Amino acid sequence: MTAPRNLSTLTNLGHALDHPEAVAWGPDGRVYAGGEAGQLYRMGLDDSICEQIAKVEGGFLLGLAHDADGNTYACNDRGPCVNRITPQGAVSVYCNGNAEQRMRVPNYPVFDDAGNLYVSDSGEWGKQNGWIWKIAPGGQAEIWDRSANGFTNGMCLAADGKALYVVESSPPLISKVEIKADGSAGKREVVVELPRTVPDGVAFDRNGDLYISLYNPNIIYRYSAKGELITLYDDWEQLMLVAPTNIAFGGTDMRTLIIASLCGWSVHTAPMEVAGVKLRYPKVG
């Protein structure tokens, strides 16, 4: 059994943020985080800068993704919509659903290489009525999958782009949904069950290991490609990681794990031996 890492290997970026739910590594080599009052923060990984580049009035920014032009696509659960925010801070609504169905709880966005944006819509806690949107470049949306429906939360794309890995927070598990050759949703499979926890975020490294952040009980797991669940960090005293939510790999070598702590007003980083998978920054137009 591998012992969890010492919390001293974590670094606090040192900026007091307003309940950051989300983190993302931008194409400009900066860390991005969202705030409870609609703030979008941009920070240096070396703690050199922290600036609020935008504020979505009446919003609460959850998951974040970027395109090749550096625009941020932010899930706003109070919109409810996905906002597009330019590098200069201009805010617009990219998508809020379609004519038949509006978004309810947009939670986390993931781009594929073609510029399609997959967005989890959590639904109601314990009701198994979440789903995943697929938004074509330009903003036209359809409900892509209804099978990964257990409070659909954080997501990440497989390295080969052929499956979407999905956090289902209730009941607690990680599933994956096949992306078929024609772009439609295929079979859903349960990857790992996580009883008596509340998983939130996921990210892959280049060895195929899946990193999983738990909003409760303050744990970061690594689920190996061989099927072993390893506790990477366990902050049971809530000294640093307080309700870790979204996670992302970043840095020039992609060997830094970036962790948002929703209830701790902070973002932490940790050095990793294995780099994260290459991020997708498509040209959306």
Res 3: pLDDT: 85
CA 140 to chain centre: 22
pLDDT for residue 14 is more than 90: no
Provide mean pLDDT across the span 207-223. Answer: 97
| Cα end-to-end span (Å), the chain | 49
Q: How many Cα atoms within 13 Å fall on the side-chain side of residue 215?
A: 20
- Domains of the chain plus CATH, in order, are 7-271 (2.120.10.30)
Main-chain dihedrals φ then ψ at residue 101, nearest 5 degrees: -150, 125
Q: pLDDT tens digits, residue range 58-95? A: 999 999 999 999 999 999 999 999 999 999 999 999 99
109 in helix, strand or coil? strand
Q: pLDDT tens digits, residue range 44-57? A: 998 678 999 999 99
Which residue is it, tokens 């290489």?
Answer: 113
Tokens of 61: 């920014």
**Cα 193 from Cα 129, distance rounded (Å):** 19
